[in-house]
Amino acid sequence: MTNKLTLLDVSLRDGSHSVRHAFTEAQVQAAAQGLNAAGVPYFEVSHGDGLGGSSLQYGLSAKNELKLIEAAASVCTTSKVAVLLIPGIGTKYDLQQAVSAGAKMVRVATHVTEADVAAQHIQLGRELGLKTVGFLMMAHMASVETIVAQAKRFESYGAEVVYVTDSAGAMLPQDVTERITALREALSCEIGFHAHNNLSMAMANTIAAVEAGATYIDGSMRALGAGAGNTQTEVMVAVLEKLGYHTGIDLYPLLDTATNVIAPLMQQPQEITASSLILGKAGVYSSFLLHAQKAAQQFGVDEREILMRIGKLKAVGGQEDVIYEVAQSLVKV
């Protein structure tokens, strides 16, 4: 157990999903001022699906993400702006532009079994002088051995931190402990953890990660994020301090920002709905929900049964066709 943790707030990136990518420069700047005043070391700014995510497929951003990064970076004296880059959605050119706009950290994200597509982006991050992070998404879908092997690739490309990312909010503390412990033993770089709250376990999973040796931890103000949202940053600061960890963060400016900046811009409450619970229970990424609902209507079956079967089939992004096949098979049953 170490007592020094580095917190990263994802409200302005994962939260982008929750506001349908409609952040304005004024909102981003106000949130950035609060995070900077609270002394949060890093916070992420970009489309929910990372740099270049603004598209018909992933949802168009209301504002140019480079302007949002600039607006955030311009008010930072201590905090640093991070960006997410999913190879295939964002490009090396996008990353260079983000750096010109003020980004100081890149998190290169891949599906938990696909770290090899990230090699050149990790290398570029290091060349550009960024703090460079590998981000293994949907980490509940792979065995501990696979995660270790994939994380080692990230490390070999030059990643300074590797994250275990519970994208579907499907993990329980024991799952987290196993994964972080194995990475801690196998890697020399730092380990991070990113939670979602679909099973109401984001905070408990975060504590499990920290206790197992993770030193980079994500949170989101008011839990604003995809699905059921993330570990709630301001609550996490209070809980970690209560447990004796040092976050270096001033709680009151963070609370003020959550109350006065984030809460007013939320389009719907960040609660655990029946749909997000089923996504967590099935271990399915939230982008599948809309397709499952459409298929349920088309074939007259229960969307929950579709999602549970999809989870068992371990379908991944890009395999949306499977959803309709599953719905059809449920009719036959």
Instruction: List residues bridging with 33 in a β-sheet.
Output: none
121 known ligand binder: no
Binding flags for its own copies, 229-258, as an x/- string (CB under 8 A): --xx-xxx-xx--xx--------x--xx-x
**How many chain residues bind its own copies (CB under 8 A)?**
38
184 scored as a contact of its own copies (CB under 8 A)? no
289 scored as a contact of its own copies (CB under 8 A)? no
In the complex, the smallest distance separating the C-beta of residue 61 from its own copies, rounded to whole angstroms, is 25
149 scored as a contact of its own copies (CB under 8 A)? no
31 scored as a contact of its own copies (CB under 8 A)? no
Neighbours of 243 (CB within 10 A): 12
Phi/psi at 220 (nearest 5 deg)?
-140, 135
Residues of this chain, 263-282, that bind its own copies according to CB under 8 A: 263, 269-274, 277-278, 280-281
Residues of this chain, 300-329, that bind its own copies according to CB under 8 A: 302, 304
Q: Cα separation of 221 and 218, whole Å? A: 10
Greatest Cα pair distance in the chain: 61
Is 56 or 333 the residue whose CB approaches its own copies more closely? 333
Phi/psi at 81 (nearest 5 deg)?
-85, 130
Which is the catalytic residue, given 17, 21, 111, 291?
17
Beta 42-44 vs 161-165: how paired, if at all?
unpaired
Q: Which long-range contacts (CB under 8 A, 24 or more apart) does 319-327 make?
A: 320/288, 320/291, 323/288, 323/291, 323/292, 323/295, 324/291, 324/295, 324/298, 324/299, 326/295, 327/292, 327/295, 327/296, 327/298, 327/299, 327/301
Q: Cα separation of 56 and 261, whole Å? A: 28
In the complex, the smallest distance separating the C-beta of residue 69 from its own copies, rounded to whole angstroms, is 27
Residues of this chain, 210-229, that bind its own copies according to CB under 8 A: 222-223
> Does residue 17 have an active-site annotation?
yes
Q: Which sequence positions are flagged as catalytic? A: 17
Contact positions toward its own copies, by CB under 8 A?
172-173, 199-204, 207, 222-223, 231-232, 234-236, 238-239, 242-243, 252, 255-256, 258-259, 263, 269-274, 277-278, 280-281, 302, 304
Annotated binding-site residue numbers for substrate: 13-14, 167, 194, 285
